[in-house]
Structures are given as C-alpha cells and as structure tokens.
Structure 1
C-alpha cells in the first residue's frame, strides 16, 4: 500500500458499483475441480479449518492422495485424483470431528454462499485489481493480487461483482500482513476507539434463503 503523493497513481474505486468480470467460467478450471468436495464448518467458535483438514486426511487415510486448502470464511476444499476415492469419502456422511461440518460436491454454479472457483481467471482478477488501485501482480494459483492502494482511503473488505451473465455475487477481501486499522470506517489513520464515524445498525428481517450448503449429508 502506498500514499497517493508523488506518483500520480490513478485510483478508480470511488464508488460501490459492482466490478464487471470480463471472463465467463473457465472450462479448464471446471475440469480441474470436477473431482473436488467443498466443505463448510458449522460451529466456527469451536472448529478450526486448518486443524480439521489435517485431522480428516489422517482419519480417511488419504494424506498422500488428497490435496486440501482453506478457502476462507469457514470453507475448505478437498481435491481428489479419482472418482473412487471421492465416493469412498462422500459415502461416510454425515461428517463430524467433535462438531458437525458439511461436505458437498463442487459444481460450477454462481452463488454468494458458494466458492465460484471457475471464475478465478487472470482477466477477472485483473478487473478486480484495476478497480482497487494500481495492479502490480496476479497469482491465479492462490487467488491473490498485489495492488498499490491509496493509504488515506478506507479499506474495503467486501466487494460486489457482476458476471458477464449479469449475475451478482459478493466476495470478501483479505489483506496480508494488515496491522492496526479502524474496524468501523476502514481507515488506517486511527483505530476504532478514536473513530469519529458513528456506525449505523439497521435491523432487517429477511427470510432465510436456501443455499448449496443446506444440503447436509
């Protein structure tokens, strides 16, 4: 992150309009994740994703056969080499490790509650980075971007995206090595106890919407 003095960097992200994604679902990524299970913990106060992944691989006896990763927001991925191993795990449902968790087969669907891995293309990551600041580096493998940002503007931790098919989704942004900042307004110039902005709390009653993780097995 850098100050906007001296370098003439153009920052475009002055509004909350959805970021338009230029790429559709990538066929190669769909094929890559075709043998994957997506999981979600149900009790985040008692469950740790990294420890859960290690424990499950040992419990299934597949530490050398399955690759796994933490997707953030309590979600994780198990990637298999063959259909037989995937089904042998999936047939052990329902799943728990002291607390219950959900496993579903990955599908190329677009949904806010579901990791749209097939949209993680270089062009889409570039579109996100260009809206946030001056894009420096793209890592499609780990789904990371390196961006020079205006350090006097609030950090944004969620962003709206819109696919080429006009489907709206939200993503959460995680900043590596982020230290103290204001959790109320997002500025790095002070902390929450010194913030002059008053948070607004609006109670909205919304009927629950079923998502893919509601299909407990």
Structure 2
C-alpha cells in the first residue's frame, strides 16, 4: 500500500482511504455554441439581498449603464442576477461603471 492511500486522522490514527470506486467517462462534445451564447453575459449578486430589491436593481442598472434597450436582466434567485448584453462594448461599459457591484462571474470569450 502506498503512502498516498493513507489518511492522517485526528489523534494520530491512520486509516485506509476508500477505494477508487467506479470511473465515469464523459463524452466529448463541442461546447463552442454554449460559449458563444454566453459570451456577453454578466452574472453578479447583491451584497444585502434582504434589503435590496432585485426588481429595482434589474430596472435601474441598465439605465445607469445607458444600455436600456440593449440588455436583458434576469433574477437568478438567492440574491443573484444575470444580464445578457447585445454588444461587447456594452458589457465592458457596464463593468467599468459597476465598481460598486460584486461580480461573481463574467464570460468574455
């Protein structure tokens, strides 16, 4: 048995790690369509969702960014939101003006 198969437990006792189990193989697929579809998507979250109204955020942020007609916002639940932009320049401008928003994910491929 190799040293990598042992786990150190509290109290100095050593126990054997569980065996590998079943291996799963995932077929390869072309995800370029998915990447293209989300290439101008911004995902973020409210820092205080109990006090901040998501509908207000979805309404006001596009106006602050001056992209009202070129972005679609969605409430993802749990204080998270998503904006889908039409143009890359719009998402860059939104990111530049959103220093007060914690961005948890942004796809610019």
TM over 0.5: yes
Residue in 2 that maps onto 1:102: 102
1:105, CA displacement in angstroms?
4.4
1:54, CA displacement in angstroms?
0.2
Structure 1 stretches lacking a partner, 5+ long? 1-19, 96-100, 108-217
Q: What are the superposed Cα offsets for residues 62-84 of structure 1, whole Å, 9 maximum, x if unpaired?
A: 11011111111111111111221
Residue in 2 that maps onto 1:81: 86
Give 1:69's match in structure 2, choosing from 61, 65, 74: 74
- How far apart, in 2, do the equivalents of 1:34 and 1:64 lie? 18
Residue in 2 that maps onto 1:44: 49
Contact 1:33 1:106 in 2 (8 A): no
1:48, CA displacement in angstroms?
1.5
Alignment of 1:67-216 (within 5 A): 67-95=72-100, 101-107=101-107
Aligned residue for 1:38, secondary structure, equals strand
Is 2:73 aligned against 1:60? no
With a CA cutoff of 8 Å and minimum separation of 6, indicate the structure with the bigger relative contact order.
2
Q: 1:44/1:105 Cα in 2 relative to 1: closer, same or farther (>3 Å)?
A: closer
TM-score (norm 1): 0.34
- How far apart, in 2, do the equivalents of 1:43 and 1:71 lie? 15
Residue in 2 that maps onto 1:29: 34
Aligned residue for 2:70, secondary structure, equals coil
1:92, CA displacement in angstroms?
1.5
Structure 2 stretches lacking a partner, 5+ long? 1-23
Q: What are the superposed Cα offsets for residues 67-110 of structure 1, whole Å, 9 maximum, x if unpaired?
A: 11111111111111122111111111312xxxxx3124424xxx
Q: What are the superposed Cα offsets for residues 84-140 of structure 1, whole Å, 9 maximum, x if unpaired?
A: 111111111312xxxxx3124424xxxxxxxxxxxxxxxxxxxxxxxxxxxxxxxxx
Q: 1:105/1:82 Cα in 2 relative to 1: closer, same or farther (>3 Å)?
A: farther
- How far apart, in 1, do the equivalents of 2:39 and 2:30 lie? 13
| Higher CA-based Rg | 2
- How far apart, in 1, do the equivalents of 2:75 and 2:92 lie? 21
